[in-house]
Amino acid sequence: MNSPTNLFASVPKRSSRAPAAPFLPMTRAEMDALGWDSCDVILVTGDAYIDHPSFGMALVGRLLEAQGYRVGIISQPDWHSAEPFRALGKPNLYWGITAGNMDSMVNRYTADRKIRSDDAYTPNAEPNKRPDRAVTVYAQRVREAYPGVPVVIGSIEASLRRIAHYDYWSDKVRRSVLFESKADLLIFGNAERALVDVTRRIAAGESIKEIRDIRGTAFLVQPGWLPDAEWSVHNSTRVDVPGRVDTHPNPYAMAQEDVKACATENAQPEPEVKPVIIMTREQRQAAAREKAMKTVVRLPSFETVSEDPVMYAHASRVFHLESNPGNARALVQSHGDRDVWLNAPPLPLAMDEMDNVYDLPYARNPHPSYGKAHIPAWEMIRYSVNIMRGCFGGCTFCSITEHEGRIIQSRSEPSILREIELIRDTTKNFAGTITDLGGPTANMYRLACKEKSIEESCRRLSCVYPTICSNLGTDHSKLIQLYRKARAIPGVKKILIGSGLRYDLAVRSPEYVKELVTHHVGGLLKIAPEHTEQGTLSKMMKPGIGAYDEFKRMFDKYSIEAGKKQYLIPYFIAAHPGSTDEDMLNLALWLKKNNFKLDQVQTFTPTPMAMATTMYHTRKNPLKKVTEDSEVVETARSGKMRKAHKAFLRYHHPENWPILRETLVKMGRGDLIGNGERHLVPAWHPSEETGTAVAGDRKRQGGMPQLPVQAHQIAANAKRKPERAVAGGRAAPAAPERARPSILATIKTKPKGPRK
């Protein structure tokens, strides 16, 4: 992996450059106050503008400002005309377009494709402040506003749509977003390095059409285009099929000598003699890397993958195998008469670069124009600190892999401690509690491969599945040290860990678990086993439920030692590819056995380019070699089946009993319907006769549920003979229904959109 130029190498010292703007301007009046007649770059975002490093537009804007450019922001413009996009005038260099911190479709729609009633990234959580496919719509409007100005698109929405992809909301394979947006350049992944390079080169007078060599960028080219004559093409437009098998000669066969073949007049020319070069392993690897840097992998075309699910799965597998910046090759995919070219992924930021990015002079507040408006996303993170980015877990339903990558990029300890002090000293209403010290994962801070050379040559899809790689460092001591120093800061009363915890890693360090449980859990700790059944977990690339059990034993032990009553809140996904009705039933029985009553659960949402989305669309498993006859992945696709899978996770809610009864009878598990302790759902309940709700479930139930015929019969029998319940056509001994006390019975666990 090449050592790139430091992101801040050419940035002048702060004392010799223009002072930072209090906020990046959103109006002409703010530009006038700064003495600007124009902006070099104008960023358009679907989020409210909050000047904080957790919000992409603020981070990108402040980074470009530090490089000496004048940056303006247009936040949540009315997209129905081009006029709002003229608010700051014409940018000197280019437009930067993003949907915001979330994909606009995930932001606006539930897993059932229903429009959400609120938007956490909008003042007062007001919905419908951004269009569907916001990147495309915004890009089209800026073209109308000022034709001829280069358009650069980025953020997670663009990253996840950089090649042909299955779109859940339209239920079809769509072209790369480069075609729909007509953008000049797409920057994917962590954009800092590519964005700074692109901006410098455009400012120096280079045409954006000529910028074709920057990692982490994608663009449209003519078919067959190559950067230069040294490049070669690796064709991966077909799945692997058995080739011709030649018969090997028998070394013991007595063949007669062909005298004519030895005649002088028939003699063949002497073969060219090539010297045998003996190379060390390091030399071979270096030669292979050099060749890879000049090789592009041709994926099956858009037309092929849109019609052939097997080829789509094959393309998905190839795409994910080319995701390690240390060995990834460029990719190209045909879309009719144009090709989409993707350069290799961006190189990770070094620790000092990460520090400089997060140490920029953010105002750390929403823009003053919002007044006292309530912005949920801001209130969620205002007292939290991001210490790292990336995740090597490789969960197939997660979009971190496609966007941030698997290599962990961490900030230094001093930089993190400085930000905590800044929160203490400048953030309004800070009461002494840091609500989170983490990132995509709570406990991957400064974890990496033991050898850089191994990391650069690795092609595993996950460092922790099916087992934790022997080359992965799992030492949590640096994170423990950070926790101890952070909570010792004067004025800081408590530091909580709110990010997702990778518990299979945590159990490798009992000292870390003890530190976490003793000092950093506020009574409840979120944890994500996602499922209990191995068939489903293998499609998620998640550890078995045994790892959860091991962590829970440690959690309970250290909670008792600390004299605290603390509880785990597990997250689960319904209707994930590979999950059958039996799998969901077993998960529901596990929840009942462990006395969990979850109020809010998550149904699998197929996000573009995720490997689980490939399984959902193609019924093929891209985690293994894909062929016509390879493994078939059964998936809950119908609305009713997805609803039933979700109902299993909320088996205790009356609104779910009718569909669960019907599903259980179809499965031949009517024995689980009844009013006894061993049953999953009751055969009859007074609320279903009167149409009233039970124990606060009135709003959720919304009237008398409609029972299937079999369930009506079960309910009738139960009312006639309260001492016995008839289930599945067989008499079952009745057991008095006892209330099962649960500390979790009143807990509301509402995921904030699909987990990443």
pLDDT at position 252: 57
| Local structure of residue 37 (DSSP, 8 states) | S
- How confident is the model at residue 599, as a pLDDT? 79
- Residue 317 pLDDT: 97
CATH code for position 368: 3.80.30.20
> pLDDT-based confidence at 270, cuts 50/70/90?
low
- Mean pLDDT (the chain) is 88
pLDDT band at 286 (very low <50, low <70, confident <90, very high): confident
Are residues 221 and 370 located together in one domain of the fold?
Answer: no
- Whether the ω angle into residue 466 lies within 30 degrees of 0, i.e. cis, is yes
Residue 568, token pair as written in the block = 């785990």
* Amino acid at position 335, single letter: H
Final residue belonging to a domain, choices 324, 343, 362:
343
CA distances, 87 to each of 47, 134, 143, 236, 748 (Å): 17, 18, 14, 46, 43
Q: pLDDT at position 268, please?
A: 56
Instruction: Give the pLDDT confidence score for residue 267 in this predicted structure.
Output: 52
Residue 213 · residue 227 · CB < 8 Å:
yes
**Per the domain annotation, does 645 fall within a domain?**
no
- Residue finishing a domain among 343, 367, 383: 343
Q: For residue 713, is pLDDT > 70? A: no
In eight-state DSSP terms, residue 209 is G
More confident residue, 722 or 412: 412
**Any domain includes 713:** no
447 in Cβ contact with 474 (< 8 Å): yes
User: Coil, strand, or helix at residue 6?
Assistant: coil
Same domain flag for 306 and 374: no
- Rounded to 5°, the CA angle 453-358-356 comes to 65
Q: Give the separation between CA 703 and CA 694, rounded to whole angstroms.
A: 11
Both tokens of 192, joined, read 């800092």
pLDDT score, position 390? 95
Q: Is residue 696 part of a domain?
A: no
What type of residue is 454? Answer: I
Of 656, 615, 603, 490, residue with least CA distance to 111? 603
Q: Which residues pair with 144 in a beta bridge?
A: none
Instruction: Name the domain count of the chain.
Output: 2
Q: Phi and psi dihedrals of 331, rounded to 5?
A: -125, 150
Beta bridge partners of 689: none
pLDDT at 630: 94
674 found inside a domain = no
pLDDT (0 to 100) of residue 138? 98
Residue 369 has phi, psi (to 5 degrees) of -65, -20
On whether residue 8 sits in a domain, the answer given is no
How far apart CA 324 and CA 312 sit, in angstroms, is 21
CA distance 417 to 419: 5
The residue from 296, 318, 343 where one domain ends is 343
Smallest CA-to-CA distance from 559 within 521, 531, 593 is with 521
User: Around Cβ 363, how many Cβ atoms within 10 Å?
Assistant: 18
| Torsions phi, psi for 572 (to 5 deg) | -135, 155
- What is the pairing mode between strands 94-97 and 151-153? parallel
Give the single-character DSSP code of 706: P
> What CA–CA distance (Å, rounded) separates 264 from 266?
5
- What residue type is 405 in one-letter code? G
Q: Which residue has the higher pLDDT, 19 or 653?
A: 653
My answer on whether 522 and 406 are in the same domain is: yes
Residue 266 pLDDT exceeds 90: no
Q: Is 171 left (phi over 0), alpha (psi -120 to 50) or beta?
A: left
Do 392 and 419 lie in one domain? The reply is yes
Burial of 524 (0-12, 13-18, 19+ CB in 10 A): middle
For the residues 653-674, what does the mean pLDDT come to? 96
Instruction: Determine which of 3-7, 126-130, 405-409, 564-568 has the lowest per-residue pLDDT on average.
Output: 3-7
* 398 marked among binding-site residues: yes
- Lowest-confidence region among 122-131, 235-244, 344-353: 235-244
The pLDDT score that the predictor gives to residue 600 is 77
| 262 assigned binding-site residue | no
Total-model pTM: 0.86
Q: Are 576 and 616 in contact (CB under 8 A)?
A: no
Confirm whether 496 is domain-assigned.
yes
What integer pLDDT is reported at residue 744 of this predicted model? 42
Judgement on whether residues 323 and 459 belong to the same structural domain of the protein:
no
Give me the pLDDT at residue 3, please: 66
pLDDT class of 686 with cuts at 50, 70, 90: low
Q: Are residues 432 and 457 in the same domain?
A: yes
3-state SS, residue 153: strand
Domain match, 325 and 385 both: no
Report the SS3 class of residue 432: coil
Q: Both tokens of residue 431?
A: 């009461």
Encode pLDDT of 360-397 as tens digits: 999 999 999 999 999 999 999 999 999 999 999 999 99
Domain contains 245 = no
Average pLDDT over residues 8-33: 86
Q: Is 463 annotated as a binding residue?
A: no
329 and 192 both lie in a single domain: yes
- pLDDT score for 159: 96
DSSP-derived letter for residue 625 is: -
pLDDT > 70: percent of the chain:
85
Structure tokens at 558: 């250290």
340 three-state secondary structure? strand
* Angstrom distances, CA of residue 462 to CA of 293, 459, 538, 685: 23, 9, 12, 47
Residue 636, sorted as left (phi over 0), alpha (psi -120 to 50) or beta, turns out to be beta
Residues 300 and 359 in one domain: no
SS3 (DSSP) at 32: helix
Say if residue 329 is in the same domain as residue 373: no
Do 57 and 114 sit in the same domain of this protein?
yes
Q: Classify residue 256: in a domain, yes or no.
A: no
Could you write out the DSSP letters of every residue in 638-682? SHHHHHHHHHHHTTTSGGGHHHHHHHHHHTT-GGGBSSSTT-SB-
CA-CA-CA-CA torsion sign (221, 222, 227, 232): positive
The whole domain housing 119 covers: 28-235+288-343
Nearest to 348 by CA among 284, 410, 271: 410
Q: Are residues 222 and 312 in the same domain?
A: yes
Residue 150 has pLDDT above 60, yes or no: yes
